[in-house]
Amino acid sequence: MISLLKSKSEFFNRRALYISADKLSVYHWHKGTLGESFLFDLDDAGRANFQRYLQESENSPMTILVDVIEEEFRQDTIPHVFGADRQALIKRKQSRLYRDASYLYTQDQGREEEGRRDDRLLFMAITKDEVLKPWLELLHEHKVPLSGILSVALLLQSYVKTLLNISDHALVVTLQSISGLRQTFFGKKELKISRLSKLARYGTESYAPRIYTEVDKIQRYLNSLRLIPNETSLDVYILADKATIDELKNESTSLPMMKRHYIEIEELLESTVGGVPQTVPFCDKLLIHHLLKTQVKNCYAPPEDMRYFKMRNMRYAMNAASIMLLIFSVVYSGINFMNGLTYKQESEASKNKTNFYQARYDLARGRLPKTPVEPAQIKLAVEAASTLAEYKSTPYEMLKFIGKGLQQFPDIKLDDLDWNYSVDPNKGLAKTSSDNNIAQPTDGSEENKVKYYQISNLKAHIEPFDGNYREAISLVNEFAETLRSYKSVYDISIDSFPLDISSTATLQGDADAAGKAAIFTLRAVIGVN
Amino acid sequence: MDAKSGIDWDVLKGSLILFCICLLIGSSLIAGAYLFNSKLSKELKQNKNVFQSISQRYLDVDQEEKLLHEYFPQFVSLYNKGVIGREKRLNWIEALRKSGEEIKLPALRYSINSQEEFTPEFEVNHSGYTLYQSNMELSLGLLHEGDLFKLLKYIDKSADGAYTISECTFRRNGAEIKMEKGHANVSANCLFHWITIGLSNGDRIEI
């Protein structure tokens, strides 16, 4: 019955399973066109054949298109709320409208124009699970990826959007070979209601009178539901082959408030499927072609029924990721490997050049004496030794400086002298000391030439001393001034006089001070060039 | 089929294995290529540096000859004097002892500490070298201040090494100055730093 349908790649292939109350057909989509189709009965033999078909065919994704009278449509409103509240409201409405149905769908159709401006919703359901369950079980058993479940009415809603000049109150009449006559009403291209009625076997009787009878019935029903405003005519779009359309045109049935539009399926098929000859009035191919080409979004299938489709997508995603990863790693490693080879070549060239220059350098260097360090380092060491010699310090300069001053003041006798050297002339001075005691350069231009400073703190006394402190202080000042007049001086400061006469000091003693020592201390800083 | 998650692992098994293999191969390729590239890049960098160094040295060989001609004799002289390389402590002690005898100092005591790194207050370029100092404390009894300078002159003449004095204190001993031989009118304490230049890497300089 079924040819071996397995192909090497089923990535772009897909299938449609068209279920009616009497038959079941499968359509294949192969290389962007509608391919083979298979018809099955709904009895045990048909079920066995379908099972065999599933075993032998490739496991491409399948969309179920259902066309049964057990599909119901109810329009209702809910308050305009969002998120979980909205979901809860919809669920409650669904359970109230379709108590035991598993295949439910709700379509948002805008808001009411008056009052609370509630949301208008179309609640749909396939009220009899047995229509789908046995076939879904088989699909799950064979791990067929189910991409969705739709009805002909929902598919027509998608299809009419592709048709131009459809009026705001349109009744679309289609004939399906395995299900019958479907009349679907659209208000402003939104699905409102749909009705399926059985047709006699094709060729046994004319379909025209039956179509008009059914259209008349539904018009009256639509009027009763007030889906068509008063004084507004209903546009009826009948999709059929040329022969049936001719029959319909010749039929003299009078249908008031109704405009009839005949659309030839051959023309539609030519513009979509592409020149496929059609001699029957049925829209099966047209609808299936639209379904498989546009891959209309799932409506009825719950997530658990679509798990193999999700797993298939995961599988392809993983395969794609694997390939991408492999390509990336090959390209990346290839580039790196090529770069590495270039580096290696350059490295070899560099090594050769190094050897070339090394040989010449060794030859030239052979003429020079062997040294413990590189010539540049030799120069550095000699210069460092020279700098150390430049900064070599001894107390010679300071003693010469003090001695020169003492020669002019024979009454001043030196007791102690603390000497040190520093590049900081203020070394040893407290930062908080008064301004008078902070050393200042005597000659700014001279300072630049000074390498370091010699600092001494000396203690001396005046001998002989007759108790005349005024004279003693004057002598110390003169001595300090004399030192200040020397060229190398940086700073001279008297730390203490023979008698502390400052206002901050406590002064006491004997008026007869003869015989007491007149001791003073002095800080001298000289610069050394 | 995993009932809890609804995942049929049989469906995904092949893809998962493929992904793991690709991940393994891919990461191995990337890691291998990266290591290969970085190793060779490093090698190239090293070789380039060596080449630049040797070519520069080759170009500088005339300059090196000039430097050696100018500085190597001084370097050798500084080495022999103990300024560069190893310090000559024995020589210092001999020089002190002889100078004490020569000048006839009333008192001369010394103590030398272990060598340590020297950080001068002033700027001195010694990159590649480390400066070391050995601190020597001298306690002297002087007839007068001039004796110290005689001593320094003698050390300059006979001791091998470079030194600097950082501190000195002079104290007058008694009110009266006695110009008698062997009498210390002045006491002096001075801190000497014997400075030597050595290689930073710790290698010894041998000529």
Residue contact A380–B44, C-beta within 8 A: no
Q: For the residues A44-66, what does the mean pLDDT come to? A: 94
φ and ψ at residue A148, rounded to 5 degrees: 165, 165
For B121, the closest chain A residue by CA position comes to: A423
pLDDT value, residue A6 = 52
Contact yes or no for A421 and B23 at CB 8 A: no
Nearest chain A alpha carbon to B133: A388
Whether A387 has a pLDDT exceeding 70, the answer reads yes
- The 10 Å CB-count burial string (b at 16+, else e) for A347-374 is beebbebbeebbeebeeebeeeeebbbe
For domain A396-528, the CATH architecture is 2-Layer Sandwich (3.30)
Q: B40 — contact with chain A (CB < 8 Å)? A: yes
Residue of higher predicted confidence among A278 and A320 = A320
Cβ A382–B18 below 8 Å, yes or no? no
Most confident of A165-169, A255-259, B188-192: B188-192
Is A328 at the interface with chain B, CB within 8 A? yes
* Segment A488-511 mean pLDDT: 80
Largest Cα span, chain A: 162
User: Residue A1: its pLDDT value, please?
Assistant: 45
A515 falls in which pLDDT band (50, 70, 90)? Answer: low
**Is B72 in contact with A369 (Cβ distance < 8 A)?**
yes
Cis preceding-peptide flag for A464 (omega within 30 of 0) = yes
**Distance between CA A60 and CA A29 in Å, rounded?**
10
Summarised one tens digit per residue, pLDDT across range A242-282 is 999 999 988 866 777 889 999 999 888 887 776 667 789 99
How much is the pLDDT for A2? 46
Do residues A181 and A196 lie in contact, with contact meaning Cβ atoms separated by under 8 Å? Answer: yes
Query: B26, A325: Cβ pair inside 8 Å?
Result: yes
- % of chain A beyond a pLDDT of 70: 91
Residue pair B153/B142 in contact by the 8 Å Cβ criterion: no
pLDDT computed for residue A449 by the predictor = 74
Average pLDDT rounded to a whole number, residues A26-36: 89
Confidence at residue A511, expressed as pLDDT on a 0 to 100 scale: 61
Q: What is the pLDDT of residue B140?
A: 93
Task: Tell whether the model's pLDDT for residue A196 goes beyond 90.
Answer: yes
Res A299: pLDDT: 96
d(CA A184, CA A218): 9
Q: Which two tokens stand for residue A485?
A: 């007049």
Which residues from chain A sit within 8 angstroms of residue B51, using beta carbons? 350-351, 353-354, 357
Question: CA–CA separation, A284 vs A65, rounded Å?
Answer: 10
Question: Domains of chain B (ranges plus CATH)?
Answer: 89-199 (3.30.70.60)
Is the model's pLDDT at A489 over the cut of 60?
yes
Give the confidence band of B11 by pLDDT, cuts at 50, 70, 90: confident
Average pLDDT of chain B is 90
Q: Is the pLDDT of residue B142 over 60?
A: yes
pLDDT over threshold 50, residue A346: yes
Which among A339, A354, A424 has CB closest to B54?
A: A354
- Chain B segment 88-117 residues within 8 A of A by beta carbon are none
User: How close, in Å, is residue A521 to chain B by CA atoms?
Assistant: 14
Closest partner CB to A372 (pick from B145, B163, B206): B206
Of A361, A423, A424, the CB nearest to B58: A361
What sign does the CA torsion over A417, A422, A426, A428 have?
A: negative
Q: Are the Cβ atoms of A332 and B55 closer than 8 angstroms?
A: no
Above 70 in pLDDT, residue B14? yes
In this prediction, residues A291-305 reach a mean pLDDT of: 93
A22 C-beta neighbours (distance < 10 Å), count: 12
The domain limits of chain A are 14-70+128-301, 319-387, 396-528
The more confident residue out of A283 and A466 is A283
pLDDT, averaged across chain A? 88
Flag whether residue B139 sits within 8 Å of chain A, measured between CB atoms.
Answer: no
Q: Which residues pair with A421 in a beta bridge?
A: A454
Chain A positions touching B173 (Cβ under 8 A) are none
Is the pLDDT score of A302 beyond 60? Answer: yes
Q: Is A14 exposed, middle or buried (0-12, 13-18, 19+ CB in 10 A)?
A: buried
pLDDT interval class at A437 (50, 70, 90)? very low
Spatial CA neighbour of A30 closest among A12, A48, A9, A57? A12
Strands (E) across A177-329 are located at 180-187, 190-197, 234-240, 258-264
pLDDT at A517 over 90: no
Q: Which residues contact B143 (CB under 8 A, 6 or more apart)?
A: B106, B179, B181, B183, B184, B185, B186
Class of domain A14-70+128-301: alpha beta
Give B-chain residues touching A323 at CB under 8 angstroms: 22
Contact A139, A48 (CB under 8 A): no
- Report chain B residues whose CB lies below 8 A from the CB of A358: 54
Residue B4: per-residue pLDDT: 58
CA distance B157 to A176: 128
pLDDT value of residue A365: 82
CA distance A263 to chain B (A): 45
> How would residue A436 be classed by pLDDT, with cut points 50, 70 and 90?
very low
Residue A7 pLDDT exceeds 70 = no
Q: Is pLDDT of A231 > 60?
A: yes
- Band of residue A4 on the pLDDT scale cut at 50, 70, 90: very low
Cα three-residue angle A320-A321-A323, rounded to 5 degrees? 65
Chain A, 330-359: which have a CB under 8 Å from a chain B CB?
Answer: 330, 332-337, 339-341, 343-344, 346-347, 350-351, 353-354, 357-358
Average pLDDT over residues A91-116: 92
Contact B7 A379 (CB under 8 A): no
